[in-house]
Amino acid sequence: MLVDLKDMEIKKLSEIYDIESRDSFVSLYINMEQTNERFVDKRKKACRAVLKENRDWMENFDKTMQMIEKFLGVNDKEEGQKGLAIFASNEHDLFITYKLGVPVEDLMVVDTSPYIRPLARMIEDYETFGLVVLDNHRARIIVVSSGKIDDITKIARDIMKKHKKGGMSQGRFQRMRVGAIEHFLKEVTEEMVKIFSKENIAKIVIVGPGNAKILLKDFLPNELKNEILDLIDVDFDEADGYLISMAEEAVQKDEKDTVSKNVIRLKEEILKHGLAVYGLKDTIDAVKNGYMELLLVSKGYKQEGWKCEKCQLVDSDIIDKCPNCNGNVTQVDGIEESIEFAQRTGTKIEFVDNNPILQELGGVGGLLRFKI
């Protein structure tokens, strides 16, 4: 079955690492839309060439790759599957696979812990949201999760047609018709409250023809009204797939706006020496200690750094011994480390598109809950 992104055990993965800092974990992401048959083989060869220096590491790597290749040999692509993620280590008895309904790029990383950055990005990119397709007598209330329909409720009511029949006066007919539409919209509202609160929906898009969307908005309680990102004029009978991609655009635009606002907030806080941190060490410190309200990570950016095997201190630059405890250090991607710590402590992460200021500040930074 395709995994629901919110069911992925990303926190658990972020807590796993090799205490002796050996490169004993293989993380593999495979693009299933455009398969490159040779990708795994090529990466395997390259990694083996590097690991040759150390027999133990190599043995673990070979056994781990055997597990992975065995799985790939029997694994069938599911309908709608666009990607595959595997986290494995023979030595640590780890083998987790996720069939993904969202696209990923080919990537294979051998490291001291599972490489979770692409998962964290996916979760941010494919937020769960509510979609309501509506005209004045029919509604589809849809929960979209991981880019696909998670739940759908249909409501249809008989409403008198626009033109009166028989002996009723025009005024009375109009009043009854409006009353029936209002009754229908109230029903839709009640269902929305029920479904969206159960699924913790915080973003809603309403689509459909005519002004039913605007009338519905008036019926909604404030907490739902505030969650509406957009009202889009479109034919009721358009295919769900098309409507979902339209709504997704609205959700992504909203996410982008939020990220831009947060980057502006970061800049302001830095200028007035307020609730902000930046640079690898201070950022990770704040994340580790739970001081961080929001971690901002530069998309695709890497920051060469080191991690102490003993006390888990992380910082940029290249050094031989940990300045804190004199322990041995290993080379790491500091950005990935900050993401792992954020997952462990439940800190919210936002990925920022090529932002020169954030990159100058070391690729990571964040907003603090309080002054430290």
Stretch of residues binding Zn ion (CB under 5 A), selected from 27-35, 97-105, 270-278, 317-325: 317-325
DSSP letters for 106-170: -EEEEESS---HHHHHHHHHT--EEEEEE-SSEEEEEEEETTEEEEEEEEE-----SS--TT--H
Smaller CB separation from Zn ion, 122 or 314:
314
Residues 6+ apart with CB under 8 A from 322: 308, 310, 311, 313, 328, 329
d(C-alpha 248, C-alpha 136), whole Å: 24
Q: And the tokens for 362?
A: 């070391």
Q: Is 325 in the site for Zn ion (CB under 5 A)?
A: yes
Query: Shortest Cβ distance from residue 329 to Zn ion (Å)?
Result: 8
Q: Is 281 in the site for Zn ion (CB under 5 A)?
A: no
Please identify, using beta-carbon distances, which residue of 309 and 340 lies nearer to Zn ion: 309
Q: What is the CA radius of gyration of the chain?
A: 26
Residue owning tokens 């992380």: 314
User: Least CB distance from residue 205 to Zn ion, whole Å?
Assistant: 49
Which listed range, 111-119, 141-149, 234-242, 308-316, lies at the site for Zn ion (CB under 5 A)?
308-316
Identify the bridge partners of residue 364 per DSSP, sorted by sequence position: 297
Residue number, 156 or 311, with CB nearest to Zn ion: 311
User: What's the CA gap between 112 and 330, in Å, rounded?
Assistant: 9
| CB-based contact 266:295 (threshold 8 Å) | no
Which residues in the 231-270 window bind Zn ion by CB under 5 A? none
Phi, psi of 161 (to 5 degrees): -65, 165
Q: How many residues bind Zn ion (CB under 5 A)?
A: 8
Q: Between 213 and 307, name the residue whose CB sits nearer to Zn ion.
A: 307
Please identify, among the stretches 47-55, 123-131, 269-277, 310-318, the one whose residues bind Zn ion according to the rule CB under 5 A: 310-318
Task: Compute the least distance from the CB of residue 340 to Zn ion, in Å.
Answer: 17
Answer for which of 144, 322, 361, 367 binds Zn ion (CB under 5 A) is 322
Minimum gap (Å) between residue 327 Cβ and Zn ion: 4
Q: Site for Zn ion (CB under 5 A): which residue of 50, 214, 264, 311?
A: 311
118 near Zn ion, rule: CB under 5 A? no
Measured CA to CA, the distance from residue 341 to residue 35 in angstroms comes to 32
Query: Residue 231 or residue 284: which is nearer to Zn ion going by CB?
Result: 284
Contact 345, 274 (CB under 8 A): no
366 contacts: CB under 8 Å, gap ≥ 6: 266, 276, 277, 278, 283, 286, 287, 292, 293, 294, 295, 296, 347
Q: Which of 245, 289, 324, 354 binds Zn ion (CB under 5 A)?
A: 324
Stretch that binds Zn ion, among 21-29, 289-297, 327-335, 364-372 (CB under 5 A): 327-335
Q: Of 195, 220, 308, 339, which lies in the binding site for Zn ion, with binding defined by CB under 5 A?
A: 308
Site residues (vs Zn ion, CB under 5 A)? 308, 310-311, 313, 322, 324-325, 327
